[in-house]
Amino acid sequence: MEIEVKLFAGFRKGRFVKEVFKIDEGVSVSDILARLEINEEDTGIIFVNGRHAKPEYILCDLDVLSVFPVVGGG
Amino acid sequence: MKDKIYRVNISTMDGHIEDVPEKLVGLGGRGLTSAVVSDEVEPLCHPLGKNNKLIFAPGLLSGTIAANSGRLSAGAKSPLTGSIKESNSGGTAARIFARTGIKALIIEGFPENRDEFYGIRIKAGTIEIEKTDLWGKGNFEVIDILSKDNPKAGVLTIGPAGEMRMAAANISVKDPGGKIRSLGRGGLGAVMGSKHIKYILIDPLGEESVSLVDPDKFKEAAKKFAKALVEHPVSGEGLPTYGTNVLTNVLHEAGGLPTRNFSSGQFEGHDNVSGEKMHELIEARGGKVRHGCHQGCVIQCSQIFNDKDGNRVTSGFEYETIWAIGANCGIDDLDALAEADRLMDDIGIDSIETGVAIAVSMEGGLAEFGDSKALIKIIGEDIKNGTPLGRIIGAGAEVTGKVYGVRRVPVVKSQALPAYDPRAVKGIGITYATSPMGADHTAGYSVTSNILNVGGATDPLKKEGQVELSRSLQIATASLDTAGLCIFVAFAVLDNSAAMDAIVDMLNARFGSSITADDVMDLGASVLKMEREFNKKAGFTEKDDRLPEFFREEKLPPHGVTWDFTDQEIDDFWNF
């Protein structure tokens, strides 16, 4: 399966903006974060296909995963 | 120093200094401006006529060492909405007001002589009204001229938009760098222009420390408060590093970034105008990533943005502005947006209302979406010079929609919606619908729990919990606006009870009171109800608490969602 991973704000530092990942079935958001060496507690917003998702969410083919640190504005 | 009310009657050219009436003693900021408007302004008056009044008030904690307490409120009946209006801003004025014992400045009347223009100079104990030849000048020049002999003076000024009484005109507030922050929304600049007042200079001469009943307790609480702000990841790190514009990518990913006049929730050019891109450009061009709008700000969400040659273009370049003239107009050129922002500061016009009005005109065929040259021309030539087109855009999105025969006009109570599509961020839609101010995101920022996962989590695409969320945020916000605190303290207040306790402790130490957190919330609730009461007397009904029809009928990509609250569900907001 393929998923797209998008990183934002400080998470881009030393990593990337957008990349396609080949993953096996049963891989969760947590697994991807671990692979990227991002601490779960440092994440503020996790979207899968533009909807809020929990770290235990199991990714499906063609999912778009977007990960932000804790941010705000207004 | 004892707090006083300073009153200027521009009909008789008199200034009076009055004792603070008992019922206003416990109020500041928005609570105070809304109370004076409710008490003294005839609800059916014309906003640009002699019966409207313009009120300025620092918050209850302004002028103290409390972090982020430097907000100044301005209030009147709004020429844009016809409703009560409070708008607040950073800058240096709130602090000087508070430290010279000016609890409020009330400007009333209407000058007989329509050929003369005035400035007001106030300092502790005196009010002077003078004729001025600065009428016609841009805000930056006015601030430079007035600050020349008095660099520390606070300045409130209107630009050409306010002079022409455009319904989207704002009032500029000098910031600590001598540049501009804005009392942005609702056309208060037009009210000041109608009274022929170009500027108000607040002289810090005679400043004293704000009196505190229990200075030690205050200091301790202020320390706790600052610590809570700095330790919260949003106010301590997210906002200072990326500014408010970090939201461009957040809202794009969430599918709630209004694009090309609210026709989509995603903008393909989002990365070019994002907070991340802006951060990169500011660093590469020698700008400044962190910048505070007032003394005592520990968040520093503002910034200074330079052009490619390293020359300063603008500061306080916010998400709302970048969205209104960017994604909403289909423009992804950050340099063009920065130039437009600078022009709007100088002309003195609300960037949200202007951007939304221009997007509506683009839909009506005035220019193509994405045409940044047209954007700059409309602002820098038409609005600035008051051409017929400039007057139309300057009258706001609703008027522009009528003139161009556009059906998709995103306004509530005639005020343009800001940067979150209410179909995909439903909690903010409830705030747009119900706020007595018209569509205003700051009035109850449900984006926190809908999108940012701060202060809880509420699914932004579902209706459940949104009315309650907006209600509690609008009540809390009315309290913070009365205290003179920046809305961004709310991130810490929502997540950490120590922050709210510290606010209560500071208020008690300042005034020798013994109020509780519940009392502070009750105060916010009473301010909201008072504002709604004014609106009722001005002719507003629950039918004005509605979003435009197209939000119910057009599905917003990418989630395919509509605005689906019933009237009953919206009206339930007011059951408190």
pLDDT band at residue B112 using 50, 70 and 90 as cut-offs: confident
Q: Is the pLDDT of residue B42 over 80?
A: yes
* Residue of B250, B425, B462, B493 for testing the chain A interface, max A β-carbons within 10 Å: B250
pLDDT of amino acid B373: 98
The pLDDT tens digits for B319-366 are: 999 999 999 999 999 999 999 999 999 999 999 999 999 999 999 999
Residue A73 pLDDT: 83
pLDDT at B242: 87
Rounded to whole angstroms, the Cα distance separating B145 from B119 reads 13
Query: A52–B453: do the CB atoms touch at under 8 Å?
Result: yes
Residues in chain A: 74
Asked whether residue A74 carries a pLDDT value surpassing 90, the answer given is no
A to B CB pairs, distance under 8 Å: 92
pLDDT tens digits, B419-445:
999 999 999 999 999 999 999 999 999
pLDDT of residue B407: 97
What is the chain B residue with the closest CA to A9? B276
Per the CB < 8 A criterion, the answer to whether B47 and B82 are in contact is yes
Looking at chain A, which residue has its C-alpha nearest residue B446?
Answer: A74
Query: What separation in angstroms does the CA of B344 have from each of B160, B187, B318, B538?
Result: 10, 14, 13, 30
CB contact under 8 A, B238 and A74: no
Residue of B234, B254, B460 lying closest to A72 (CB–CB): B234
Does the pLDDT at position B527 exceed 90? Answer: yes
Q: How many other C-beta atoms are found inside a 10 Å radius of the C-beta of residue B341?
A: 24
Distances from the Cα of B34 to the Cα of B8, B241, B268, B482, B545, angstroms: 18, 35, 42, 10, 19
Do the bridges between strand A64-69 and strand A2-7 make them parallel or antiparallel, or are there none, so unpaired? parallel
Rounded Cα distance, B389 and B386, in Å: 8
By C-alpha distance, the chain B residue nearest A13 is B276
Share of chain B above pLDDT 70, in %: 100
pLDDT in tens, B473-485: 999 999 999 999 9
Q: In 3-state terms, what secondary structure has residue B295?
A: coil
Give the β-pairing of B102-108 and B4-9.
parallel
Mean pLDDT computed over B504-527: 97
* Closest by Cα among B478, B485, B181, B199 to B351: B181
Sheet hosting strand A43-48, strand order edge to edge: A18-22, A2-7, A64-69, A43-48, A51-52
- Contact across the interface for B301 and A73, Cβ inside 8 Å: yes
Q: What is the dihedral of CA B528, B529, B531, B532, to 10 degrees?
A: 120
B420: contact with A, CB 8 A cutoff: no
ipTM of the complex: 0.98
> Does the pLDDT at position B492 exceed 90?
yes
pLDDT in tens, B183-237: 999 999 999 999 999 999 999 999 999 999 999 999 999 999 999 999 999 999 8
Q: Report residue A46's pLDDT band, with 50, 70 and 90 as the boundaries.
A: very high
> Judged by CB atoms within 8 Å, which residues 240-279 of B form the interface with A?
241-247, 249-250, 253-255, 271, 275-276
Name the nearest CA neighbour of B397 among B439, B346, B447. B439
Per the structure block, which two tokens stand in for B556? 């917003």
Assess contact for B458 and B469: CB atoms under 8 A: yes
What is the mean pLDDT of the segment spanning A49-60? 98
Q: Could you tell me which chain B residue has the CA closest to the CA of A41? A: B233
Residues 6 or more apart in contact with residue A13 via CB below 8 angstroms: none
pLDDT tens digits, B153-191 = 999 999 999 999 999 999 999 999 999 999 999 999 999
Q: Is B488 on the interface with A (CB under 8 A)?
A: yes
pTM confidence score:
0.98
Q: Following DSSP, what letter does each residue of B15-70 receive, concatenated?
A: EEEEEPPGGGTT--HHHHHHHHHHHHS-TTS-TTSTT--EEEEE-TTTTSS-TT--
Q: Do A45 and B238 touch (CB under 8 A)?
A: no
Q: Are B250 and A17 within 8 A, CB to CB?
A: no
B43 vs B106, B237, B536, CA distance in Å? 17, 44, 9
pLDDT band (50, 70, 90) for residue B571: very high
Task: Report whether pLDDT(B80) > 90.
Answer: yes
* Shortest alpha-carbon distance between residue B559 and chain A (Å): 8
CA distance B97 to B104: 8
The rounded distance, in Å, linking the Cα atoms of B48 and B64 is 35
In 3-state terms, what secondary structure has residue B458? coil
What are B373-401's pLDDT values in tens digits? 999 999 999 999 999 999 999 999 999 99
Is the Cβ pair B246, A6 closer than 8 Å? no
Tell me how far the alpha carbon of residue B436 is from its chain's centroid. Answer: 14
What integer best gives the mean pLDDT of chain B? 97
